[in-house]
Copies of this chain bind each other. A is one copy, B any other.
């Protein structure tokens, strides 16, 4: 049994009316343009037939389909959940496009695909610097929809909105805290390539460390040699050192290695994670670890809220407001991994 699709035509026939009428009524069932009886009839038939409008036809016609695409470079559960919730509230469709593995060009491909759906807006968290996005940038510029960038501004897209954490204050506080605990050295742990936000953090960190007269260093993580790198670095420590890690994963792994090497955390090394993701809506991995890990908590929920509101505003009001750069405050959550025993607070 091959059943053909139910279209407005089907409904029109069954109701003894024309397509136009059906379309009208279905689009605006409350409008008194048609007699109540007709409207009721149409709606009833549509219901019986399990009618669903064809997105492609609508898209073709209207050139838009109330769709927002979220492009994130890795699986970032808290952000995705938050955005999902906010978008649901405003009755837009959300299409998530994750590119978890750092496959060359995957992100560009995802963006291309996103554009092909002619969404009303795109929320994009670039994972790396401008230079990687040569091909896609022109497509984005040629496109008519709205883009909000997360975390990093791109030089080649200067007139895009950006929503990101305010990184300076929290980093300063972290250093202050580290100093108060008597650590003599700070090490910033991140991937080799750093993007704008990381750079801000890095600079602030270096600068503030100098103010407090604390040594500063940086580890660039090669994802294949990770554990080895940590082992090497940790085994050479000569003074109380605090590690500030880009993302929870690094922090956890350093802690693991420290445990293997029988290095005491927090006394010999301190660990701070930048992230503090909420997983499964209930648990933070920094709180599961022992000792619990101090963290600069990225305000994903607030970022999601701000981003979606901004984007929707852009979409519905067509007013040309200049690009915004919104910063959302981060919080420093002090836990055991940086609370040395015997240091008076």
Q: List residues of chain A with CB under 8 Å of any chain B CB.
A: 3, 50, 52-57, 59-60, 65, 74-75, 77, 80-81, 84-85, 88, 93-101, 103, 106, 112-113, 115-118, 138-139, 142, 144, 247-249, 252-253, 279-283, 285, 288-290
Contacts and interface: CB of A to CB of B under 8 A. Distances in A.
A280 B101 CA distance: 10
Nearest to A248: B280
Contacts of A53: 116
A56 B60 contact: yes
Nearest 8 CB-CB pairings of A with B: A56-B59, A96-B96, A56-B60, A290-B290, A81-B100, A56-B56, A75-B77, A249-B280
Given A55-B118, A56-B118, A75-B81, A285 B282 contact: no
Given A56-B60, A75-B77, A80-B75, A139 B50 contact: yes
Contact of A138 (B50, B100, B106, B290): B50
A109 to B, nearest CB: 8
Contact of A50 (B55, B65, B142, B290): B142
25 contacts: A3-B142, A50-B139, A52-B112, A53-B116, A55-B117, A55-B118, A56-B65, A56-B118, A60-B60, A74-B281, A75-B77, A75-B80, A81-B101, A84-B98, A84-B99, A85-B100, A88-B103, A88-B106, A94-B97, A95-B96, A249-B279, A249-B280, A279-B285, A285-B285, A285-B288
